[in-house]
Amino acid sequence: QKEVEQDPGPLSVPEGAIVSLNCTYSNSAFQYFMWYRQYSRKGPELLMYTYSSGNKEDGRFTAQVDKSSKYISLFIRDSQPSDSATYLCAMVVIQGAQKLVFGQGTRLTINP
């Protein structure tokens, strides 16, 4: 069993919909949680970073962490076609210069 599980999708929703992406993890030592976005044939780019349970909002994006359930989520409001990409959750045990453990990635398509 992988340390980080993520539904690979694909997920297809209409423009303007609210999107929910989720990951579960088994290693309780993970303390820092990230969401990366990866466009086709590009490297991942950091979207959100959080280290505590609760919600963190940045524009149309909200990251949610529940350490007691070992469950993290990313919500995208007012989704746009430009949001179509693969979304990867990633986790790290210790802050700073540590290897990231990624989920499988969820492929998301926003239909105009």
Partner 1 sequence: GAGVSQSPRYKVAKRGQDVALRCDPISGHVSLFWYQQALGQGPEFLTYFQNEAQLDKSGLPSDRFFAERPEGSVSTLKIQRTQQEDSAVYLCASSLPGGNEQFFGPGTRLTVL
Q: How far is the C-alpha of 23 from the C-alpha of 27, rounded, in Å?
A: 12
Q: Which of residues 75-94 bind partner 1 (CB under 8 A)?
A: 88, 90
Q: How far is the CB of 86 from partner 1 (least distance, A)?
A: 9
Place of tokens 């045990």: 93
Least distance from partner 1 to the Cβ atom of residue 19, Å: 18
* Residue nearer to partner 1 on the CB measure, 30 or 102: 102
DSSP string, 7-57: ----EEEETT--EEEEEEE--TT--EEEEEEE-TTS--EEEEEE-SSEEEE
Size of the site for partner 1 (CB under 8 A): 24
Of residues 33 through 52, those in contact with partner 1 by CB under 8 A are 36, 41-46, 49
Name the DSSP class of 81.
G
Among 14, 28, 82, 99, binds partner 1 (CB under 8 A): 99
Would you call 60 exposed, middle or buried from its count of C-beta atoms within 10 A (0-12, 13-18, 19+)?
Answer: middle
Nearest approach in angstroms of CB 112 to partner 1 is: 25
Task: By CB under 8 A, name the binding residues for partner 1.
Answer: 4, 6, 8, 32, 36, 41-46, 49, 88, 90, 95-97, 99-105
